[in-house]
Amino acid sequence: MSIVKSEKTEEWFFSSDQYILSETDEKGIIIYANDLFCELAGYTLEELLGQPHNIIRHEDMPKIAFKGLWDDIQTKGFWTGVVKNLRKDGAYYWVYATALKRVHSDGSVTYLSVRRVPDRASVQACTSLYADLKSKE
C-alpha cells in the first residue's frame, strides 16, 4: 500500500491505480471493506464490520449529499459523487465514489461503493459547494 499524508494539512492521499471498496447491507451497515479502506480510514477490519457507514462521515459533508446517495441507489440503482471522509485520527481524505445497488439471487440487497482518486478541481469545487450547503442547513 502507498498512502501518504500531506505535510501541510491533515489530508491523506492514495494513488490513481488504487480502489477503495466497501459494501453495506440495506441499512448502511458495513459488511465488507478492503485493505485500502481500512488503511485510509485508520481502522482495522474488525472495528469496521457491523458499524454504520457514517463511522467515516466528515462533519464538512452536507446532509443533502447523503440524501442524494440514498435516494439514487434505492431508485436508480447507482450514485456517483465526491466525498470527504473522516479518518479515525481526525484527519481526512477525499474520494470519487460510485455506489451501486446489488440484488442477490436470494432477493437480498446490498450496496457496494468503489472509490477512486478525485481530480483536484473537483475537490476544490466540492470544498466550496459543501461549505455553502452546510451554511444553509
Nearest approach, Cβ of residue 40 and ligand FMN (Å): 10
Distance of CA 19 to the CA centre of its chain: 11
Q: Is 82 in the site for ligand FMN (CB under 6 A)?
A: no
Query: Which region among 5-13, 42-50, 52-60, 127-135 touches ligand FMN (by CB under 6 A)?
Result: 52-60
Question: Going by C-beta distance under 8 Å and a sequence separation of 6 or more, which residues neighbour residue 106?
Answer: none
* Half-sphere exposure for 27 (CA within 13 Å, toward CB): 4
User: What's 62-112 look like in SS3?
Assistant: CHHHHHHHHHHHHHCCEEEEEEEEECCCCCEEEEEEEEEEEECCCCCEEEE
Q: Is 24 in the site for ligand FMN (CB under 6 A)?
A: yes
Q: How many residues bind ligand FMN (CB under 6 A)?
A: 15
Q: Is 28 in the site for ligand FMN (CB under 6 A)?
A: yes
Query: Which region among 9-17, 50-58, 122-130 touches ligand FMN (by CB under 6 A)?
Result: 50-58
Q: Is 83 in the site for ligand FMN (CB under 6 A)?
A: yes
Q: How far apart, in whole angstroms, are the C-alpha atoms of residue 45 and residue 52?
A: 13
Q: Is 42 in the site for ligand FMN (CB under 6 A)?
A: no
Which residues of the shown chain bind ligand FMN in the complex (CB under 6 A)? Answer: 22, 24, 28, 53-54, 56-57, 61, 66, 69, 83, 85, 99, 111, 113
